[in-house]
Structure 1
Amino acid sequence: MDLQLTGRTALVTGGSRGIGRAVVEGLAAEGATVAFCARSADGVAKTEEELRDAGHDVHGTAVDVTDGDALGAWVRDSAATHGGIDAVVANVSALAIPSTEENWAASFTTDMMHTVRLVEAALPSLEESDAGAIVTISSVSGREIDFAAGPYGTFKGALVHYTQGLAYQLAGRVRANTVSPGNVYFTGGVWESIEENDPDLYAHALGLNPTGRMATPEEVARAVVFLASPAATFISGTNLVVDGALTRGVQL
């Protein structure tokens, strides 16, 4: 299937590792120009170098997405540099699970407001595109009650609501969809750390998935890339769960 991404421009937050990096690589492999950001300048430079060496048209910038002014400037600069924006992927999360006041604030600022600010800054460009698309990254923790039912799960659920609202409000102009991954394992990721430091929790989480494993970033990224592409022209307002049948609730 031709995803019709050749010549398109996409922006991805948190693009230097994990799901974000896989999304950047997936979009670029389909022919898109991809601008991505992450907080670590070293991580951004390393990712940009590796993906450019692989022949991809990617452009990394160190940005703290909790800084609304910096995030907005990056979006506007990217649009000016690349002649517009066709898709944005809001991927960054604070991964704040314990129910502390600090984690509630971090989840609101990072998960929720970075997404809102990214969309608002990119919307003028997205509306000028003939295939404008927004993809937000939620989680199965936003869909059902699990061990992350505090700030993390609450704001992941809010992202689904926000995105479906966008889909309705922007219908016919810009599409908006959510991808909700289950547990995703990658080197340097949170589940590798949990495996090493809390083996009981890791074993519990692994045991919940009937596939007997966690997802790879690439498996989640494929869903994101499709929803961000012009190939998904009539898909808007959906929450695509990528969890290997981990969740058992019926999504109506």
Structure 2
Amino acid sequence: MDLQFTGRTALVTGGSRGIGRAVVEALAAEGATVAFCARTADGVRAAEEEMRAAGHDVHGTAVDIADGDALGGWVRSCAETHGGIDAVVANVSALAIPSTEENWAATFQTDMLGTVRLVEAALPSLEASDAGAIVTISSVSGREIDFAAGPYGTFKGAIVHYTQGLAHQLAGRVRANTVSPGNVYFAGGVWESIEANDPDLYAHALGLNPTGRMARPEEIARAVTFLASPAATFISGTNLVVDGALTRGVQL
């Protein structure tokens, strides 16, 4: 299937590692020019060099998503440099799970406001595109109550609600969808850390999935790439759960 990304520009936040990096690579492999950001300059530079060496047209910038002015400036700069924006993927998370006031504030600033500010800054360009698309990254923790039911799960649920609202408000102009991954394992990621530091929690989480494993970042990225693509013309307002049948609730 031709996803029709050739000649188009996509933006990805948190694109230097994990799911975000896999999304950048998947979009670029489909022919898109991809601008991505992450907080750590060294990580951005290393990821950019590796992906360019693989032949991808990618452009990395160090941006703190919690800094609204910096995020908006990056989006506007990308639109000017690349002649517009056709798709944005809001991927960054503070990954703040324990229920402390500090974590509630961090998750609101990064997960929630980071998503809202990305969309607001990109919206003029997305509306000018003939295939404008928004994809937000939530989590199965936003769909059911699990060990991350505090700030992380609450705001992941709010992101789904926000995206559904965008789909309705922007219908016929810009599509908006969510991808909700289950547990995703990658080197340097949260589940690798949990495996090393809390093996009981890791074993419990692994045992909940009937596939007997966690997802790989590229498996999430394929879902994101399709929903962001012009090939998904009539898909808007959906929450695509990619969890290997981990969750048991019926999504009506």
Is 2:160 aligned against 1:165? no
Q: Which amino acid aligns with 2:171?
A: A
Task: Please show how residues 100-249 of structure 1 align to structure 2 within 5 Å.
Answer: 100-249=100-249
AA aligned to 1:240 is: L
TM-fit CA distance, 1:20: 0.1
CA distance in 2, matches of 1:250, 1:106: 31
2:215 aligned partner, one-letter code: A
What SS does the corresponding residue of 2:60 show, helix, strand or coil? strand
CA offsets 1:65-120 (integer angstroms, 9 cap, x no match): 00000000000000000000000000000001100000000110000000000000
Q: Aligned partners of 1:207 and 1:109: how far apart in 2?
A: 33
Q: Which residue of structure 2 aligns with residue 93 of structure 1? A: 93
**Aligned amino acid, residue 7 of structure 1:** G
Alignment pair present for 1:59 and 2:35? no
SS of alignment partner, residue 34 of structure 2: strand
Aligned to 2:72: 72
Identity %: 90
CA distance in 2 between counterparts of 1:222 and 1:204 reads: 27
What TM-score, normalized to structure 2? 1.00
In structure 1, how many angstroms separate the alpha carbons of the residues matched to 2:141 and 2:8? 32
Does the residue aligned with 1:180 lie in a helix, a strand or coil? strand
> Which residue in the other structure is 2:35 paired with?
35
What TM-score comes out, normalization by structure 1 length?
A: 1.00
Letter aligned with residue 113 of structure 1: L
| Structure 2 residue runs without a partner (length 5+) | none
Unaligned 5+ runs, structure 1: none
CA deviations 1:159-194 (Å, max 9, x no partner) are 000000000000000000000000000000000000
Give 1:226 shift. Answer: 0.3
**How many angstroms apart in 2 are the aligned matches of 1:203 and 1:103?**
25
Superposition deviation, residue 249 in structure 1: 0.2
- Per-residue CA deviations over 1:107-137 (Å, capped at 9, x if unaligned) read 1000000000000000000000000000000
Q: 3-state DSSP class of the match of 1:195? A: helix
